[in-house]
C-alpha cells in the first residue's frame, strides 16, 4: 500500500493511495483509490460545512505513482459539497467523514459517515479499511456483519506448511509450493484475471522436460504395440516391446501375454 | 569476508559501460524467480528454515563457473550502508535490503549476475546488461538457471510452471525490464498517454527504484507483469517491440521539442547546468532531476566534449549512501547536501556552459 498524504490549498486533507495489486488480489480490477477526508464542519450545520472546499478541485497534477500494479495517474478529483450530506449508514446525523473510491474505469463510490458510524466501522482511525475488498460488502450497509461468521466457518489450511486462506488474504503470498494444490480452487479464478493464460507455456527444468518427452514417446509406442498385437504382427510387437522396455527401464507391459 | 566497497566496480567504470541505444535505455535486466520444492517460501518459513535454505543455496550459486570469485554473503553480514549502496546500484531490491538473518546475495565480479537469496522467493536471479540488451540478458539468465537446476530441486508444476510465493510471478517467474531515460516525453507532456498505452499492453511502468517509487530524473522502468500462459521468449519479444517504440517516441519528442520549443528546452538545460555547476547545497532529488536535463543537453549536443558517462557517474555518486560511503563521518541530510553540491561543482568544473546552436 502506497500512501502519500498531502494538504491541498484549501486545507482539505487528501490521502492518496495506490493499491499494490499483489497484496489485494481480490480487488485486482481496482487500480487506484483516492480518499478525501474533509475537516469536520465548524459550528452546527453551517450551509457550507467545508468552507473553501465546496466545489473545489483538488489537483493531483501529473504525478505518477507506481504501485506493484500499473502506475496511476489521477488528474483531478472533484469535490462537490454543495449541501450537507447525511450519513449513508444511519441516515440521521450529518456525515463528517467522506470517502470516495475511484476505480480504474473511473467509477466512483461514495461513503459518507457520521462520527458514530465511522467509529462503529473502525474507519475513524484507519480510513484505509475502506480499501479492503470487503468494503463493497460494507457499502451494502451492515451486510458484512452477516457474512463474517460464514467466512470464518470454513478455513482451509495447507497440510504441508499450515498456511491458511486468511494468511493469503493478509499477505497476498502463499506459504509453500504445496499451497498451490491446497488452494487450487480459489486460485484458479484469480490466476485467470492475473495472467495471460492459466497454463504454463515456458521453460521447464530439464528433468521434467525429458520425463515429459519420454512419457509422450512411451504413450506413442504403447499405441503402436496394441495395434501390432491386434493385427497379430508379432515381430513388430516384439521390437516395440523391447523399445518400451529400454525407454521405461523395464516397466510392466500389459499388452503382451 | 570480502569488502563490498572494494568488490564493486567503481562508479566511473560502471558509468563508462556502454550498450546499444544507451542514450535512452540505461540498462536491461531479466530476473527469474525460483523456489526449492521442499521448503516454505521465505515469507512464511521460520528463521531456522530460512537459514537452512540459505546454507544450501548460497554455495550452490557461488559454485557456478559464471559466479567465479563472486561476492557471496549473508545479508546480516552487511551494514545498512552497504545494503543501501547495493540498492542504489540497482543490484538488490529495497525489500531485500531490509532482510537480515537467513537471506543472502551472490554478485559476480562483472556485476552482470546478481542473485538474491530468500527475498520474496528462495531465489531471485538477475542478469544485468548496459543499454538495450534484454534478449542477451534473457539468454544469460536462462543459462545460469539451467546450470543451477542441476544442483537444486526447483518447485515446478506441469500445469502452473515454476511455483512462486506470489501468484503474480507464477509460471515463468520472469520479469524483463529496462530502465529508460525519457526527458523528451516528460518535457513534451506525452509521458502519461505513453504510460497508459504501455499499461494497456499488460506492461508496468515504474519509477527509478521499482515498486512504488517516483520517476526521479525522468527515469522509468518498463517491465512485463504477466508471467503465466506465455513463454519467456514471447515476453522478451513483446518487450523488445514496445521498448523500440518508446525509444522512437522519445527521439521524436526530442526532435519536436527542438523544432517547436527550442527556448523551453535550452532554458531547462541552461538552468540545470547553472544550478549544478554553482550550487553549494543540493538535495539528491533535485540533483537527479537536474542531471537528467544535463544528460539531455549532452544528447542534444549542448555540451561538446562532455561524455554522457560523467552524468551517469554523478547519478550514482550523488545518491545518499554512495555519498556517505566517501566520507567517514556520519552525515546528516543537510551535511550531505553541502558535500553533494561540492562534489558536483568539482566534477563539472571542466564542463563549459551549454552552447546553443
CA distance B39 to chain A (A): 6
Residue A149 has pLDDT above 80, yes or no: no
**pLDDT at position A213:** 78
What does the CA dihedral B79, B85, B88, B94 come to, rounded to 10 degrees?
-10
Which position has the higher pLDDT, B102 or A81? B102
Give dist(CA B271, CA B264) in Å, integer.
Answer: 11
Mark yes or no for CB contact B171/A200 under 8 Å: yes
Mark yes or no for CB contact A194/B204 under 8 Å: no
% chain B with pLDDT above 90: 87
**pLDDT at position A215:** 80
Mark yes or no for CB contact A200/B158 under 8 Å: yes
**pLDDT at position A83:** 46
Q: What is the ipTM of this complex?
A: 0.87
Q: What band does A66 get if pLDDT is binned at 50, 70 and 90?
A: very low
How big is the A-B interface in CB pairs under 8 Å? 158
Going by C-alpha positions, the residue among B108, B110, B86, B89 that lies closest to residue B99 is B86
**pLDDT at position B98:** 94
Mark yes or no for CB contact A200/B211 under 8 Å: no
Mark yes or no for CB contact A187/B149 under 8 Å: no
Give dist(CA A144, CA A149) in Å, integer.
Answer: 9
**pLDDT at position A249:** 66
Which of A46-50, B70-74, B136-140, B185-189 has the weakest average pLDDT?
Answer: A46-50
Q: Is the pTM of this model over 0.80?
A: no
Residue B133 has pLDDT above 90, yes or no: yes
Distance from first CA to last CA of chain A, Å, rounded? Answer: 66
Q: What band does B137 get if pLDDT is binned at 50, 70 and 90?
A: very high
* Residue B257 CA neighbour count, 13 Å, CB half: 25
State the cell numbers at A78: 472533484
Output B321-324 pairs: Cβ under 8 A, ≥24 positions apart. Answer: B321/B81, B321/B84, B321/B85, B321/B87, B321/B88, B322/B11, B322/B85, B322/B88, B323/B284, B324/B81
pLDDT (average), residues A128-142: 46
Which position has the higher pLDDT, B137 or B320? B137
Residue A138 has pLDDT above 50, yes or no: no
Residues 6+ apart with CB under 8 A from A116: A90, A93
Q: What residues form DSSP beta bridges with B259?
A: none
% chain A with pLDDT above 90: 10
User: Which residue of chain A comes nearest to B205, CA vs CA?
Assistant: A71
CA distance A117 to chain B (A): 33
The whole-chain average pLDDT of chain B stands at: 93
C-beta separation of B72 from B62 below 8 A:
yes
Question: Is residue A127 packed enough to be buried (19+ CB in 10 Å), middle (13-18) or exposed (0-12)?
Answer: buried
State the cell numbers at A136: 463493497
pLDDT (average), residues A205-213: 83
State the cell numbers at A41: 464542519
Mark yes or no for CB contact B195/A71 under 8 Å: yes
Which of A46-55, A168-177, B276-285 has the weakest average pLDDT?
Answer: A46-55
Sign of the alpha-carbon torsion through B25, B26, B30, B35: negative
Residues 6+ apart with CB under 8 A from B331: B323, B324, B339
Mark yes or no for CB contact B212/A202 under 8 Å: no
Helix, strand and coil content of chain B, in percent to the nearest 5, comes to 50, 15, 35
Residue B204 has pLDDT above 80, yes or no: yes
CA distance B241 to chain A (A): 18
Q: Which of B228, B233, B237 is the best substitution to test chain A (most A C-beta atoms within 10 A)?
A: B228
C-beta separation of A15 from A31 below 8 A:
no
Which position has the higher pLDDT, A99 or B146? B146
C-beta separation of A168 from A56 below 8 A:
no
Residue A186 has pLDDT above 60, yes or no: yes
pLDDT (average), residues B95-110: 95
Going by C-alpha positions, the residue among B84, B11, B4, B9 that lies closest to residue B316 is B11
Which position has the higher pLDDT, B130 or A216? B130
Residue B328 has pLDDT above 70, yes or no: yes
Give dist(CA B315, CA B90) in Å, integer.
Answer: 12
Q: Which residues of B touch A73 (CB under 8 A)?
A: 192, 195-196
* Dihedrals phi, psi of B164, to nearest 5 degrees: -125, 160
What does the CA dihedral A242, A245, A251, A253 come to, rounded to 10 degrees?
-20
**pLDDT at position A208:** 84
Mark yes or no for CB contact A71/B205 under 8 Å: yes
Question: Is residue B222 packed enough to be buried (19+ CB in 10 Å), middle (13-18) or exposed (0-12)?
Answer: buried
**pLDDT at position A42:** 35
Compare CB distances from A177 to B35, B158, B225 and report the shortest one's residue: B35
Q: Which residues of B touch A194 (CB under 8 A)?
A: 167-168, 226, 228
Amino acid at each position: 500500500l502506497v500512501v502519500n498524504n498531502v494538504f491541498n490549498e484549501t486545507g482539505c486533507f487528501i490521502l492518496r493511495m495506490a493499491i499494490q495489486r499483489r497484496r489485494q488480489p481480490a480487488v485486482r480490477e481496482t487500480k487506484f483509490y483516492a480518499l478525501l477526508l474533509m475537516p469536520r464542519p465548524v459550528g452546527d450545520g453551517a450551509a457550507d460545512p467545508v468552507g473553501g472546499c465546496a466545489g473545489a478541485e483538488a489537483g493531483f497534477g501529473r504525478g505518477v505513482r507506481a504501485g506493484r500494479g500499473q502506475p496511476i495517474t489521477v488528474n483531478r478529483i472533484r469535490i462537490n459539497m454543495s449541501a450537507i450530506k447525511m450519513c449513508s449508514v444511519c441516515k440521521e446525523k450529518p456525515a463528517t467523514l467522506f470517502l470516495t473510491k475511484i476505480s480504474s474505469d473511473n467509477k466512483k463510490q461514495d461513503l459518507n459517515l457520521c462520527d458514530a458510524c465511522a467509529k462503529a466501522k473502525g474507519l475513524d482511525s484507519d480510513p484505509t479499511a475502506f480499501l479492503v475488498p470487503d468494503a463493497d460488502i460494507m457499502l451494502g450497509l451492515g451486510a458484512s456483519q452477516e457474512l463474517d461468521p460464514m467466512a470464518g466457518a470454513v478455513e482451509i489450511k495447507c497440510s504441508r506448511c499450515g498456511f491458511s486462506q486468511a494468511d493469503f488474504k493478509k499477505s497476498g503470498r502463499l506459504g509453500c509450493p504445496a499451497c498451490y494444490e491446497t488452494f487450487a480452487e480459489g486460485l484458479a479464478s484469480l490466476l485467470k484475471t492475473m495472467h495471460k493464460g492459466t497454463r504454463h507455456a515456458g521453460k521447464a527444468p530439464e528433468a521434467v522436460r525429458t520425463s515429459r518427452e519420454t512419457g509422450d514417446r512411451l504413450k506413442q509406442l504403447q499405441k503402436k504395440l496394441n495395434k501390432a498385437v491386434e493385427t497379430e504382427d508379432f515381430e513388430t510387437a516384439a521390437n516395440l516391446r523391447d523399445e518400451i522396455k529400454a525407454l521405461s527401464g523395464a516397466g510392466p507391459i500389459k499388452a503382451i501375454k | 569476508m570480502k569488502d563490498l566497497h572494494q568488490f564493486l566496480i567503481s562508479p566511473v567504470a560502471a558509468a563508462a559501460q556502454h550498450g546499444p541505444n544507451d542514450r535512452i535505455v540505461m540498462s536491461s535486466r531479466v530476473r527469474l524467480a525460483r523456489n526449492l520444492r521442499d521448503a516454505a517460501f521465505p515469507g512464511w518459513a521460520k528463521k531456522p528454515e530460512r537459514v537452512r535454505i540459505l546454507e544450501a543455496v548460497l554455495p550452490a550459486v557461488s559454485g557456478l563457473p559464471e559466479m567465479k570469485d563472486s561476492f557471496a554473503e549473508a545479508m546480516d553480514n552487511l551494514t545498512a550502508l552497504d545494503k543501501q549502496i547495493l540498492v542504489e546500484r540497482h543490484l538488490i531490491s529495497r525489500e531485500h535490503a531490509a532482510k537480515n538473518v537467513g537471506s543472502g546475495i551472490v554478485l559476480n565480479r562483472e556485476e552482470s549476475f546478481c542473485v538474491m537469496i530468500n527475498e520474496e522467493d528462495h531465489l531471485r536471479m538477475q542478469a544485468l546488461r548496459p543499454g538495450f540488451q534484454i534478449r542477451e540478458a534473457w539468454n544469460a539468465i536462462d543459462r545460469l538457471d539451467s546450470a543451477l537446476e542441476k544442483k537444486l530441486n526447483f518447485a515446478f508444476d506441469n500445469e502452473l510452471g515454476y511455483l512462486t510465493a506470489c501468484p503474480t510471478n507464477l509460471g515463468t517467474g520472469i520479469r524483463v525490464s529496462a530502465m529508460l531515460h525519457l526527458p523528451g516525453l516528460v518535457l513534451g507532456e506525452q509521458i502519461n498517454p505513453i504510460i497508459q498505452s504501455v499499461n494497456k499492453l499488460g506492461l508496468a511502468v515504474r519509477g527509478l527504484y521499482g515498486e512504488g517509487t517516483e520517476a526521479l530524473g525522468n527515469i522509468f522502468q518498463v517491465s512485463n507483469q504477466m508471467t503465466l500462459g506465455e513463454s519467456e521468449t514471447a515476453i522478451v519479444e513483446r518487450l523488445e517491440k514496445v521498448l523500440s517504440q518508446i525509444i522512437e517516441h522519445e527521439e521524436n519528442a526530442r526532435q519536436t521539442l527542438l523544432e517547436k520549443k527550442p527556448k523551453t528546452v535550452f532554458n531547462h538545460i541552461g538552468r540545470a547546468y547553472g544550478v549544478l555547476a554553482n550550487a553549494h547545497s543540493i538535495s539528491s532529488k533535485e540533483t537527479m532531476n537536474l542531471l537528467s536535463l544535463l544528460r539531455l543537453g549532452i544528447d542534444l549536443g549542448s555540451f561538446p566534449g562532455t561524455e554522457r558517462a560523467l552524468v551517469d557517474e554523478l547519478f550514482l555518486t550523488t545518491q545518499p549512501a554512495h555519498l556517505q560511503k566517501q566520507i567517514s563521518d556520519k552525515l546528516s541530510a543537510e551535511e550531505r547536501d553541502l558535500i553533494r553540491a561540492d562534489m558536483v561543482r568539482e566534477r563539472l568544473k571542466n564542463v563549459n556552459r551549454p552552447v546553443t546552436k
